[in-house]
Structure 1
Amino acid sequence: MAHASNPRPLNRQDLLDIDTMLSEDERAVRDSVRAACDAEIEPHIQQWYEDGALPVRELARMFGELGVLGMHLDGYGCPGMSAVDYGLACQELEASDSGIRSLVSVQGSLAMFAIWRWGTEEQKLEWLPRLAAGDAIGCFGLTEPDHGSDPGSMRTRARRDGDDWVLNGAKMWITNGSVADVAVVWANAGEENGVIRGFVVPTDTPGFSAPEIKHKMSLRASVTSELLFDNVRLPGDAVFPDVRGLKGPLSCLSEARYGIVWGAIGAGRASLDAAVRYSTERHQFGKPLAGFQLTQGKLARMSTDLNTGQLLALHLGRLKDSVGLRPEQVSVGKYNNVSAALEVCRTARTILGANGISGEFPVMRHANNLESVLTYEGTVEMHALTIGKALTGVDAFR
């Protein structure tokens, strides 16, 4: 059996030549998103992070023109691209900042996917083209002040009043909330024996408010809000007609978690790149930091963990495009990749020493952001229990 004997030249930023596993079109998608981030995000992201503010509408229109809002959905103005394309986009977005990827992820994988998958034709026609173009902003209301990992115990209530629905309650930690034009809201429809129902809620509906959450130490370059419902009256056709229970919101979370599997690798990659550059430029004891064995050991571990995570993300993307993904498989990806990327960022900070906490470098910003990514859309513990149940058949959630 013949064996190839001419390996490709060494690429220090892609030691395993993972690039060869991507098609030319996939690389083009990745490169176009990276170019947009380099031009429109990188010059401003540190200031946005320090200010705790983000020009969401301007960015949404830019991302709409780029075609990344709901890019893995088809019809209604959505590009209909592959799961791998979407993953590569998420990776490049989060290489700039987790808050940027969150903006796109919440818009496309939560708000838009919910309407695309569960909405009526009228709801789709009304909202999806505007959301895909970035002319409207969407948010997704599931988490509550007292119920995060246990959404089945939510206290937000929807009750029938004639042909209408009336919402009362609150949601917490909602990305895009205070700038959104439409909110997908999940509520306990008490008169239907507590079953969870989903609603499309225009944010100009009387009784709806969304105060922004301030003083965050993480995801500062992201708009995060409460959602408050004070007798919010909705027409009967505001409800998703064909989904009841947690199947609806959990299907949306699987879509968003898939993007996180890729995005976390982008944040880790940016931190590794910063550590490699710094270690070759910074001299101590007469030679660059990169010349010390302990430093090289750290870099080797970081690179290997990120390459492993990249291969996992790509494998899950190929599965999603071919046969689909099970929630347990998405849990494996988030459980592994976010934890690995966070450890990469922490290790990169040690290589940069005191400079690692400076805004001149992206490392501490990425580490702070990933502390949130570690626990949102399923805490690391909940994903561990999901994997454990898949392995043993025993439910340890309760």
Structure 2
Amino acid sequence: MKDAFDKVEDKSKKDLNLIKSIPAMLSFLSDLDDDEVLMWLDQARKIKKRRTPKFPPINGDFYDTREYLNADEKLVLDSVRRFMIEEIEPIATEYWMKGEFPFQIIEKMKRLNIMGLTYNKNLGGQERSNLLEGMVGEEIARIDVSICTFFGVHAGLAMNSVYHCGSPEQIEEFIPPMIAMEKIGAFGLTEPEVGSAASMGLTTTCKREGDTWTINGEKKWIGNATFADIIIIWAKDEDDHQVKGFIVDRNTNGLETEKIEDKMSLRIVQNAIIRMKNVKVSEERRLQRANSFKDTARVLKMTRAGVAWQAVGCARGAYEHTLDYTMKRRQFDRPIAGFQMTQDLLSQMLSQLTAMQCMVARLSSLQDQGSMSDEQASLAKVFCTVGCRTITSMSRELMGANGILISNKVARFLGDAEALYSYEGTKQINSLVVGRAITGLSAFV
């Protein structure tokens, strides 16, 4: 059989141009014995299949985590996907390259009605699950992580600060317009010289005199800060040395914002340095249930879960774009998706992605039960952001030189993964949170 195969292959190479017509093909086949004919036909089928394969649909949700949602929740997710594909995907690369925010999308996002998904209906929320909100974040990040960060800063950090740390009056005043996106929020915790040490080392200060607070200091890396209507500012009280939170109008006298330029990651996000000199804020604007950093940490716990979902979305976007690329990219007259080393890397990427999806789905179910712990949120944040880095790196590798082109999208995901890896608590800090829980010993200095 091997001799027959070699003979057929040799004849195929020599007579390829002769078998383009039926008579020539019949003549070619008449020179072969029965075994050679069968071998030739089998070889022809394989060549045709390799050259013009029929690919299955691209789906990064390999274990169908979407099936955890009910029918109504799936409709919400579908509307988000349509919006991201129709409104964001066509402009994402352009605005990422320019480092500008597409403000025209805010009016369109209002109609999606996805802010405050888990909030009470009497505030304009929908009382839906944290699982749905997590999957919405995944769906947004699957197309663009910057837009998901805008969503996370406003609906996560800023709104949750008011919702969980504000008085009933503050919640009633600010949450409904924030859900309606009539007021956009930002969250000011990190400082130029203080990141991981925020629990004890804030240098921004606040001091009360009567019913007025005076705030002095600087913040850095504050997303949405150049255009937000309100900024949640965290500062250390000069009198009791505890961290307090404030709802500050961006246009307050003494508060200035400066856009941070030259980023390699999340370029659409408008990060800013905030400088505050004798900024006056009334006691009515102090978050009434934020009396120490423990209250700030309650907000961060929830948003760490959100960042884990963002990392899943970023990784999924990179994986799906790369899979599509391997189906279209041809080498040696066949798609590279059919090469063994390509399939090995794709399988590794999908394995990591699927593990991440299953972890965050379980995390959100714990959140819906009201039992999610700090260390569980931290573990998901660590695992998913590390996995996101790995998957986006493999994506770049599979695309070869084309992987460094922003127009091919994977390079954008690769850059954005770096920010996810660092914000909302670095990998190292979150690892120490987990380590403290599993050993009973604190390694924090």
1:22 aligns with 2:52: no
Contact 1:99 1:220 in 2 (8 A): yes
Match of 1:383 in 2: 430
Structure 1 residue aligned with 2:116, among 66, 70, 89?
70
Match of 2:417 in 1: 370
Q: Deviations over 1:81-137 (max 9, x none)?
A: 210110011001111111111111111111111111111233223221211111111
Q: How far apart are the structure 2 equivalents of 1:323 and 1:235? A: 33
Match of 1:360 in 2: 407
2:206 aligned counterpart, secondary structure: strand
How far is 1:231 from its partner?
0.2
Contact 2:187 2:232 in 1 (8 A): yes
Greater helix share, structure number? 2
Which residue identity does 2:232 align to in structure 1? V
Gaps spanning 5+ residues in structure 2: where? 1-55
TM-score by length of 2: 0.84
Going from structure 1 to structure 2, the CA distance change for 1:120 and 1:17 (only over 3 Å counts) comes to: closer
Structure 2 residue aligned with 1:125, among 172, 185, 189?
172
Contact 1:63 1:69 in 2 (8 A): no
Q: How far apart are the structure 2 equivalents of 1:35 and 1:202? A: 34
Deviates further, 9-18 or 64-73: 9-18
Q: How far apart are the structure 2 equivalents of 1:238 and 1:80? A: 26
Mapping of 1:129-168 within 5 angstroms?
A: 129-151=176-198, 152-168=200-216
Q: How far apart are the structure 2 equivalents of 1:20 and 1:287? A: 35
How far is 1:293 from its partner?
1.3
TM-score by length of 1: 0.94
1:64 aligned counterpart, secondary structure: helix
1:215 aligns with 2:239: no
Q: How far apart are the structure 2 equivalents of 1:54 and 1:250? A: 29
Between the two proteins, what is the percent identity of the paired residues?
32
Q: Deviations over 1:17-72 (max 9, x none)?
A: 3333332223222211111111110110000100000124x333332321122222
Going from structure 1 to structure 2, the CA distance change for 1:380 and 1:214 (only over 3 Å counts) comes to: same
How far is 1:13 from its partner?
4.1
1:173 aligns with 2:184: no
Mapping of 1:1-398 within 5 angstroms?
A: 13-56=60-103, 58-74=104-120, 75-151=122-198, 152-192=200-240, 194-398=241-445
2:246 aligned counterpart, secondary structure: strand
1:178 aligned counterpart, secondary structure: coil
Deviates further, 118-127 or 383-392: 118-127
Q: Deviations over 1:303-355 (max 9, x none)?
A: 01101111111111111112331111001111111111121111011111111
Which residue identity does 1:191 align to in structure 2? D
Going from structure 1 to structure 2, the CA distance change for 1:11 and 1:157 (only over 3 Å counts) comes to: closer
Contact 1:338 1:373 in 2 (8 A): yes
Contact 1:102 1:222 in 2 (8 A): yes
Q: How far apart are the structure 2 equivalents of 1:169 and 1:13? A: 44
Which residue identity does 1:318 align to in structure 2? S
Q: How far apart are the structure 2 equivalents of 1:189 and 1:276? A: 52
Q: Deviations over 1:233-280 (max 9, x none)?
A: 111222122331111211111121111111211111111111111112
Contact 1:73 1:113 in 2 (8 A): no
2:406 aligned counterpart, secondary structure: coil
1:240 aligned counterpart, secondary structure: coil
Count of residue correspondences = 388
2:408 aligned counterpart, secondary structure: coil
Q: Tell me the C-alpha RMSD between the 2 structures.
A: 1.6
1:221 aligned counterpart, secondary structure: coil
Q: How far apart are the structure 2 equivalents of 1:11 and 1:49? A: 25
* Greater C-alpha radius of gyration: 2
Match of 2:18 in 1: none
Going from structure 1 to structure 2, the CA distance change for 1:319 and 1:103 (only over 3 Å counts) comes to: same
How far is 1:203 from its partner?
1.4
Q: How far apart are the structure 2 equivalents of 1:355 and 1:27? A: 35
Contact 2:166 2:290 in 1 (8 A): no
Contact 1:268 1:345 in 2 (8 A): yes
How far is 1:11 from its partner?
7.8
1:43 aligned counterpart, secondary structure: helix
Contact 2:115 2:179 in 1 (8 A): yes
Match of 1:6 in 2: none
Contact 2:154 2:186 in 1 (8 A): yes
Contact 2:226 2:270 in 1 (8 A): yes
Q: How far apart are the structure 2 equivalents of 1:246 and 1:64? A: 32
